[in-house]
């Protein structure tokens, strides 16, 4: 088998990574400004407007300029955005508090900006680590401010704010945990909605959605999509002989064989009943046919017999293959062509792989061509 072309695979990974990274950075920056605006409103409405010679408005202007600088840095160096920026936030806020009254400053509320951002990242340890860092710097700078400016330390307020930071950290981590739990539940529901419960393969609904993406990719990169259609031979007879529970086990067995014979980039689908489909991109049809042949042989090796009343008949698999856009530029027609090739494989005796171009050839001609003898 031939793996996906390296340059295309790398391009897809880079596009996906860049898109996710940009969305994450923008989300963080939006939260920074929302927290800043909310905190500014609280400071303006609840402050005395003058502490240690610096007005709250002047302090807010400094924080706004600082936040703007961080925003510009993150937009230009999105992937380099790290937790270190949030620690710098703590130091910057502590310095402002030092110059605006220490424990009496209303700017303590801006500490919640980095705490909230760590909570968004669902980093519990990081949030409490940052909370400890906040408590140490806030307490230290408040005490230093009181010593240098000969002001009285309001111990009760200092302790209350330190406890408030710890309570906020607990609330943020608890909330982020619930959000993460809900997100995982939604992902699980989404995964179940697109997966066949019995075999674990993709279901028809997911295939109908995914095929549009694959066609867009093939058109953009001048690539191909191979459609391999499989149907288990004599499956009804096997069900009649051993029951539906054994039939389900057989379907599961065949799905496991498929998974073992394909690449991670290939998409296996339970198309319906005992019908299966594999979507393979970036592969020559001859090699795609060898994939179908490998799957056919693996099932044949299992020697699954139908039962005494059916003689020596066994469960095997037939396969039809068509390729987009070689056989048609309409993907629906390509699927129909693969189905026609599968029908021809059934007509000429089953347990064989047939490409759309080979429809009309006899079994003997196909076996000679494939060297199956």
pLDDT at 182 over 90: no
- H or E element at residue 345: helix 331-347
Instruction: Please give the average per-residue pLDDT across 97-116, as a whole number.
Output: 80
Domain limits for position 222: 204-370
The CATH number of residue 295's host domain is 3.30.70.270
Sign of the four-CA dihedral 201, 203, 206, 207: positive
Kindly report, residue by residue over 127-149, the tens digit of the pLDDT.
Answer: 888 889 999 999 998 898 888 88
Q: 74-106 pLDDT, tens per residue?
A: 666 655 555 567 787 788 888 878 877 788 887
| Tokens of residue 143, six digits | 């005490």
Range of 70-84, 146-160, 350-364 with top mean pLDDT: 350-364
Q: Please report the pLDDT score of residue 280 as a whole number.
A: 96
pLDDT at 48: 46
* Helix orientation angle between 124-148 and 155-193, rounded to the nearest 10 degrees: 160
pLDDT at position 314: 92
Q: What value does the mean pLDDT of the chain take?
A: 82
Among the ranges 60-69, 144-153, 157-166, 169-178, which has the highest mean pLDDT value?
157-166
Do 240 and 145 sit in the same domain of this protein? no
Write the pLDDT tens digit of every residue in 314-331: 999 999 999 999 999 999
- On whether both 336 and 308 belong to a single domain, the answer is yes
Q: What is the pLDDT of residue 31?
A: 63
* Torsion on CA atoms 352, 357, 358, 359, rounded to nearest 10: 90
pTM of the predicted protein model: 0.60
Strands 316-324 and 267-272: unpaired
Domain assignment of residue 264, yes or no: yes
Q: Which has the minimum average pLDDT: 5-14, 93-102, 219-228?
A: 5-14
Give the chain's domain count.
Answer: 2
pLDDT at 357 over 80: yes
Task: Say whether pLDDT at 153 is over 70.
Answer: yes
36 or 334, greater pLDDT: 334
Provide φ and ψ at 228, rounded to 5°. Answer: -105, 115
Q: Give dist(CA 270, CA 199) in Å, integer.
A: 8
Residues 209 and 339 in one domain: yes
Domain co-membership, 163 together with 221? no
> Out of 60-64, 185-189, 200-204, 207-211, which region has the weakest mean confidence (pLDDT)?
60-64
- Answer for the pair 364, 352: CB distance below 8 angstroms, yes or no: no
Domain boundary among 169, 193, 217: 193
Residue with tokens 């088998």: 1
pLDDT digits (tens, 9 = 90+) for 227-253: 999 999 999 999 988 999 999 999 999
Cis peptide upstream of residue 57 (ω within 30 degrees of 0): no
Residue (of 113, 104, 119) closest to 134 by Cα position: 113
Sheet holding 267-272, edge to edge: 267-272, 275-281, 225-233, 316-324, 353-355
| 3-state secondary structure at position 195 | strand
| Contact criterion met (CB below 8 Å) for 324 and 331 | yes
Residues 183 and 233 in one domain: no
Can you tell me the distance from the alpha carbon of 173 to that of 354, in angstroms, rounded to the nearest whole number? Answer: 57
Considering the domain boundaries, does residue 103 fall inside one? yes
Q: Is 182 a member of any domain?
A: yes
Q: What pLDDT score was predicted for residue 146?
A: 85
* Exposed / middle / buried, residue 369 (Cβ in 10 Å: 0-12, 13-18, 19+): exposed
Residue 362: pLDDT over 60:
yes
- 139, 161, 193 — which closes off a domain? 193
Last residue of a domain, one of 151, 174, 193: 193
CA distance 362 to 373: 13
CB 280 within 8 A of CB 291: yes
Give domain status of residue 106, yes or no. Answer: yes
Token pair in block for residue 357:
């171009």
77 in Cβ contact with 28 (< 8 Å): no
């Amino acid at each position: 088998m031939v793996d996906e072309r390296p340059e295309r695979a790398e391009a897809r990974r880079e596009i996906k990574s860049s898109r996710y990274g940009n969305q994450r950075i923008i989300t963080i920056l939006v939260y920074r400004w929302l927290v800043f605006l909310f905190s500014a409103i609280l400071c303006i409405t609840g402050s005395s407007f003058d502490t240690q010679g610096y007005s709250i408005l002047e302090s807010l202007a400094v924080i706004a300029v600082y936040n703007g600088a961080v925003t510009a840095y993150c937009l230009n160096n999105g992937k380099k955005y790290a937790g270190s920026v949030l620690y710098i936030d703590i130091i910057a806020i502590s310095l402002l508090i030092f110059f605006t009254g220490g424990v009496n400053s209303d700017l303590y509320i801006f500490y919640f900006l980095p705490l909230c951002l760590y909570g968004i990242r669902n980093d519990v340890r990081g949030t409490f680590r940052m909370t400890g860092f906040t408590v140490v710097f806030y307490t230290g700078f408040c005490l230093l401010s009181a010593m240098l400016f000969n002001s009285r330390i309001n111990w009760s307020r200092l302790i209350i704010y330190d406890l408030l930071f710890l309570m906020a950290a607990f609330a943020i981590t608890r909330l982020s945990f619930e959000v993460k739990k809900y997100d995982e539940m939604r992902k699980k529901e989404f995964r179940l909605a697109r997966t066949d419960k019995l075999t674990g393969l993709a279901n028809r609904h997911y295939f109908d959605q995914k095929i549009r993406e694959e066609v867009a990719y093939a058109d953009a990169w001048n690539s191909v999509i191979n459609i391999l259609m499989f149907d288990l031979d004599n499956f009804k007879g096997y069900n009649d002989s051993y029951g539906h529970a054994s039939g389900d086990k057989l379907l599961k067995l065949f799905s496991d064989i498929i998974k073992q014979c394909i690449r991670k980039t290939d998409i296996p689908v339970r198309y319906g009943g005992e019908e299966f489909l594999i979507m393979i991109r970036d592969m020559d049809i001859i090699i795609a046919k060898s994939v179908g042949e490998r799957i056919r042989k693996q099932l044949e090796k299992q020697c699954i017999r139908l039962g005494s009343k059916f003689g020596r008949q066994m469960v095997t698999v037939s396969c039809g293959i068509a390729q987009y856009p070689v056989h048609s530029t309409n993907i629906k027609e390509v699927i129909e062509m693969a189905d026609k090739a599968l029908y021809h494989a059934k007509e000429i005796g089953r347990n064989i792989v047939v490409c759309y171009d080979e429809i009309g050839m006899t079994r003997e001609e196909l076996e000679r061509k494939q060297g199956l003898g």
